[in-house]
Structure 1
């Protein structure tokens, strides 16, 4: 499967999703990137912005299984991963697997669940397996967790620990639709429901993911990603001494890996077999915004992670066009 084929296949998936979901282009693109790069997605947005319907529609186009878990304060880990059930007739225990055993898992309002439940999800996200009563069960492949957070309400919520937030490849902020988009949304929702056609199988998606790992990334581009992430830890070394007082903790190496994996997927979506600096730059805010721990000074001055990230991007020099020669020959 060569890359142009892949791009057209991803376009067909997007086309099907867009028959149901209006607008949200950037959000949909990020979902596709996460899917190809085998990363998980944290989505922040107020209720009613088609987050659930996007994942559900996507699962249909992939002929994959979809499960949604509504996180609540009284949830226990067994509600998520499953449990052992005693059968009175046979006197045996059988394992009942939980809703995490799906290709696409939507963890709705993830910050409403207590730490115990969050850590249960953490194992699934990292290891792609679940341990129930000493037995290990692998989740189906491909496996993508998309967790949502509502930015409005903080009452009765448990902030996600840094270790868990770091497991998410990207954090995407979903905004309100424009008036034109909202008009189309109302038309669609109140009209006949669109029928979504499956485009690829989960097996084909697995092949696409393997294909994604083969996208060429120039060493200068990797160096660029390393510098961007390093600038969140030691801003002064990268010519940003003023930022040091605003960042308590910078991003981990997972951010650098996320940038490169994401850039590969982005290049693939754009029909290329090699990544360019703009593929990395486009993803920097999504990969870094949830990984920065801001200091009290930053909060007092009303600085957001996005503002700090944009300062870093403008300061760290981009590599000269890597792969330019290959493009001219191609």
Structure 2
């Protein structure tokens, strides 16, 4: 994570010294920006940074970032502090960018007052975009997310989850199995439980794959899509791809993973064979790889449970494992 500090006075520089040390302790790479050529410096930092902090009048920061603001899903967090250290204002990207959380943390460190103006926070309601950003869930529809954030100020919104949760639901949500006009679904499945469903997509699926030598990335992609379509699963919920280590140099498989931006895990035949469970046995696979089943065993070798057993599509074997985790609010 990177943070960029801007200041324009001696008092501002002294305050930046404190903030810089605090952010470094939190794991940020911090740069101090010169006070000259503010527009160019802001543009550069806005494009590459996670957090921008201006120690100055709010108007200076607003004018500096105004031409650069694009979308709440892309903009970095921007804070403004007065040079006396009395207030820390969350100016931009409060939820997804984390400016609200950063403002509270910096203010607590300085003994200042955090200024957070987002409606859900001021009313003590659940903020769906912040929740998703903090946990790495994908939001299916930002327009619908805005509608949910508006509606939650007036009434509790139905919430459905494929994943278990121990905690009580936060203010603004009520548990539901579906059927209402509008609701939130934390789900790795395609089926929409509500008439208008805002999906939050958790990356909890492991794709176990076996294939013949020389299988193309295109064929693997088509086979995976066919299986996910048949099983009603969402492709964006794949966390990683797993296979036997004999496939660690399989060009088509590696190309498929690279195109999809998916990490890989390769296991030895001994590691796969050591797993206990009911797996589809194949003598041919055993002779070739040293283990009786590649896709199912690979799909659960990281501790997952088997969600979809072995499917064979055009010579490619596919299985899906589910990483069971509790939702934390």
What TM-score do you get using the length of structure 2 for normalisation?
0.26
User: Higher strand share goes to which structure?
Assistant: 2
Higher relative contact order (CA closer than 8 Å, sequence separation 6+): 1
- TM-score, normalised to structure 1, is 0.26
Quick check: which has more Rg, 1 or 2?
Answer: 2
